[in-house]
Chains A and B, each alone.
Chain A
Amino acid sequence: MNIHQPRGDVSGRTLAIVEELKGLEGPLLPIFHEIQHEFGYVPQDCLPVIARELNLSRAEVYGVFSFYHDFREHPAGRHVLKLCRAEACQSMGGDELAERAKRLLGIDFHETTPDGAVTLEPVYCLGLCSCAPSAMFDGEVHARVDADDLDALVSEARR
């Protein structure tokens, strides 16, 4: 994943997304997904635009944005590594893998390396519980991840 810096004006592009999706029943989540896809995060300047166009209060729009773990207030690193932290992965050494990732990257979960290369995030289940432990790296799934696999992912991210 590349760093997405808002290009051009945020409100104009937000308006275009809202215009396209506002006809859906319950459009707010699809709008947030599309905005995050467009910018890589949800710039807070989007919120008043959405509120105005959907006839909602800014508080309501912010409330929905902040409820969901997926939506970012700030850009992520160039790569995003998500490690599954749920029970099936725990049973196959997921905790040790998570500690290794933190040590290799020098960061904790929800943090980005100082060089902007990698953001480390927990995920609660990728549905790959039968081939645990699992990870998602830039949207690609990895299963039966061992220490070597993790090292390879981290060095790929660092390149």
Chain B
Amino acid sequence: MTTKIYIPRDAAALALGADKVAKAIEDLIAARGLDVTIVRNGSRGLHWLEPLVEVETPEGRVAYGPVKARDVASLIDAGLVDGGNHALCLGKTEEIPFLKQQTRLTFARCGVIDPLSLDDYRAHGGLRGLENAISMEPMAIVTQVTESGLRGRGGAGFPTGIKWKTVLEAAGERKYIVCNADEGDSGTFADRMIMEGDPFVLIEGMAVAGLATGATKGFIYTRSEYPHAIATMAQAIEIARRAGVLGQSVLGSGRAFDMEVRTGAGAYVCGEETALLNSLEGKRGIVRAKPPLPAHKGLFDCPTVINNVISLASVPVIMDKGASFYRDFGMGRSRGTIPIQIAGNVKHSGLFETAFGLALGEIIDHIAGGTATGRPVKAVQVGGPLGAYFPRALFDTPFDYEAFAARDGLIGHAGIVVFDDTADMLKQARFAMEFCAIESCGKCTPCRIGSTRGVEVADKIAAGIEPEKNRELLADLCNTMKFGSLCALGGFTPYPVVSAMTHFPDDFKPAPLVEAAE
């Protein structure tokens, strides 16, 4: 029987040499005449072990990692093809604690299947949600998504079903489903992993959204920094079209839905939904004032559902297994699962999908195993460049939209960046302002001007110029930006700045003036 060896094609694995590993394995199995096929899967999300090579054995898949091309000969000698033992052998993949502790609903297939095999996708439960949706009235689909408790995974946490209901009830000859795949937040890569590792789940989710709201056209707006995701998504759409999953009659339902991928051009602010819509229309990525809501007047002024990748990719499992199945995971008003992305200076980095409610400290200390450098954790930034820095004192915060908000933070797109005790929080606060200045769309004054002034004030504090006065000024500026900005870029930049000042005041004290001491 032909043995299957899995070598990821995910960008993280590629960036760590997966193609070289694949080539080395290919060459050696050819030279030795071994009966092996290589499958290029997505990533399992155990990124500190990438490239993670897996072999299918009668007992299940056995993992090896991190594998370098130079390890391949010794791996084959050790009997890789039969799951043989080797220093890099990690045992059965499913038994690796980081994976075993997870609840994978949205990422159930990611890293498991060949991302571009629709047969694989079906064999692992794919398209069942869409098939169910086809037999339902639009309002029933909307109700099921609403009752699942699914909230926007892009960060805002708005109930997905309510958004869909608004679009369903909006009058319009044309309606659109727009997938926000402009994943620009540092520390996040869940959207990229889905697009590269299980693109059909996103296509299925968007098709369900189309059936639910009467939209017939979808756009996935993603980033130019994600060339692999763009290529995989475009291929998957073509495959889905040829198989009749997309097109004039979705799975023979007689209802049309089609989609295309569009690429941004390096503007972070286009992750804001109204800026994204402008960009899709071919305009500058300038934020629009709301109202009107995109659900009423969105893309080309038509009613538009705009959802994050993970929100849409969570829809198929809800339509397959039911609203209550999904809703039974989680805590409070945060229902279901959340793919937490653990990044930065951390030992066990990667993607960890779990029900809402896990304490931040549990994630950092136990699941992630502390820092990669072995030094103490100083701060973690949750929710990307607009998220707050939390000190160890707040590690009891449960991973939940409301719990983070109650502590002046946000979970955002669920990325966590860990910093060790060498981090300078004044520098991080300055960077938050600098990033805002670089990426501001320029429409509103607090964001456009405030961010530049913020950098200057931070520099004055660092230089020891009237530190007390300038700390007050920085806090005041943050207040203006928070309440006076049009969108989350200017409005949330204060989160990292204020949290850094609040929790790490020592870093904002003036540096000892060497000149004065001499």
Number of A-B contacts (CB under 8 A): 146
Tell me the chain A residues, 109-159 only, with Cβ under 8 Å from chain B: 123-132, 134, 136, 139, 141-144
A33 and B263 contact, CB distance less than 8 A: yes
A43 to chain B, nearest CB (A): 17
> Does B224 sit at the interface, judged by CB under 8 A?
yes
Stretch binding the partner chain, chosen from A4-12, A62-70, A73-81, A97-105: A62-70
> Does B342 sit at the interface, judged by CB under 8 A?
yes
- Give bound CA distance, A91 to B183, whole Å: 19
A89 and B12 contact, CB distance less than 8 A: no
A130 and B48 contact, CB distance less than 8 A: yes
> Does A86 sit at the interface, judged by CB under 8 A?
yes
B267 and A67 contact, CB distance less than 8 A: yes
A91 and B420 contact, CB distance less than 8 A: yes
B262 and A87 contact, CB distance less than 8 A: no
A106 to chain B, nearest CB (A): 24
- Give bound CA distance, A146 to B28, whole Å: 29
- Give bound CA distance, A15 to B130, whole Å: 42
A96 to chain B, nearest CB (A): 11
B268 and A88 contact, CB distance less than 8 A: no
- Give bound CA distance, A26 to B285, whole Å: 13
A129 CB contact (under 8 Å) in B264, B268, B417: B417
> Does B294 sit at the interface, judged by CB under 8 A?
no
Find chain A residues with CB under 8 A from B12 CB.
Answer: 127-128, 130-131, 143
A33 CB contact (under 8 Å) in B265, B279, B286, B350: B265
A125 CB contact (under 8 Å) in B50, B186, B263: B186
- Give bound CA distance, A132 to B279, whole Å: 29
> Does A3 sit at the interface, judged by CB under 8 A?
no
Find chain B residues with CB under 8 A from A67 CB.
Answer: 267, 284-286
B15 and A91 contact, CB distance less than 8 A: no
- Give bound CA distance, A27 to B279, whole Å: 10
> Does A48 sit at the interface, judged by CB under 8 A?
no
> Does B16 sit at the interface, judged by CB under 8 A?
yes
A130 and B345 contact, CB distance less than 8 A: no
- Give bound CA distance, A70 to B343, whole Å: 26
Find chain A residues with CB under 8 A from B175 CB.
Answer: none
Find chain A residues with CB under 8 A from B189 CB.
Answer: 127-130
CB contact under 8 A between A141 and B418, given known A87-B385, A130-B341: no
Tell me the chain B residues, 382-399 only, with Cβ under 8 Å from chain A: 385
Q: Which residues of A contact B (CB under 8 A)?
A: 25-30, 32-33, 63-64, 67-71, 86-92, 123-132, 134, 136, 139, 141-144
20 contacts between A and B (CB under 8 A): A25-B217, A29-B265, A30-B263, A67-B284, A68-B265, A69-B266, A70-B266, A87-B187, A91-B417, A91-B419, A92-B345, A125-B184, A125-B185, A129-B417, A130-B350, A131-B15, A131-B16, A131-B47, A132-B345, A141-B15
Q: Which residues of B contact A (CB under 8 A)?
A: 11-12, 14-16, 47-48, 50, 183-189, 192, 217, 223-228, 262-268, 279-286, 300, 341-346, 349-351, 372, 381, 385, 415, 417-420, 423, 428, 431, 435, 438-439
